[in-house]
Amino acid sequence: MTFNSKDILFEDNHLIIVNKRSGALVQGDKTGDKTLGDHIKEFLKKKYNKPGDAYLGVIHRLDRPTSGVVIFAKTSKALTRLNEQFKERMVDKKYWAITEKNNEAKFGKLENWILKNSKQNKSYIHLKKVSGSKIAKLKYQLIKELKNYLLLEVVLETGRHHQIRAQLSEIGFIIKGDLKYGSKRSNKDGSIDLHSYQVVFKHPVTKNIINIKAPLPKREPWKSFLYD
């Protein structure tokens, strides 16, 4: 199942914010699979008995194998204003990632140049600017350590393609299940253990501060970090 009403974290006349499940597709791709937005539009149409299609604007995206907070706009006004907030980096985003252990510092700031290879659907890290690359910045810190894995909190300062996956992998913090960026084994459900945990922003209409946290996946090793 890709979506049901229990995944909704916040909804009003202008926004609907959901906890995306790993495997759900935010934006259409070459697979032609039904998107999360398509499912939500069907839900809104039925819930509010709309005669036509429900409006739903995609504001930002999460990679298909990741989970966590995704914000959708229910009005064009909200979409335009939130797009501007994201563009101006006025939205605070925190991710949690389960990674393999290594001897790197357990907190720090990463600043690299990142280059997307569209054919491979993969991004590569460069220490210096190369043609087509963009600056990528994030901060990370250790939250908890288990026998085999680390739980890191990541704060994004820029939003680049596969940024967290590529930058953490570059210094040896390989995200569990992420075969594309160095993991030796996949997760059984095809997910990677990267979760958009918290988003804080100003409501585009009411101007209230919206602070949303998405519950973690209910599977191992997430459960071990919560209850160990």
Q: Which residues are catalytic?
A: 63
Contact status, residue 172 vs residue 178, Cβ threshold 8 Å: no
Both ends of the chain: CA-CA distance in Å? Answer: 29
Q: Which residue type, as a one-letter code, is found at position 45?
A: K
Q: Catalogue the long-range contacts made by 217-225 (C-beta closer than 8 Å, 24 or more residues apart).
A: 217/22, 217/67, 217/191, 217/193, 219/189, 221/98, 221/146, 221/148, 221/149, 221/176, 221/193, 222/98, 222/193, 222/195, 224/146, 225/98, 225/143, 225/144, 225/146, 225/151
Give the separation between CA 155 and CA 69, rounded to whole angstroms. 14
Residue 119: alpha-carbon gap to chain centroid: 22
Query: What are φ and ψ of residue 91, in 5° steps?
Result: -105, 125
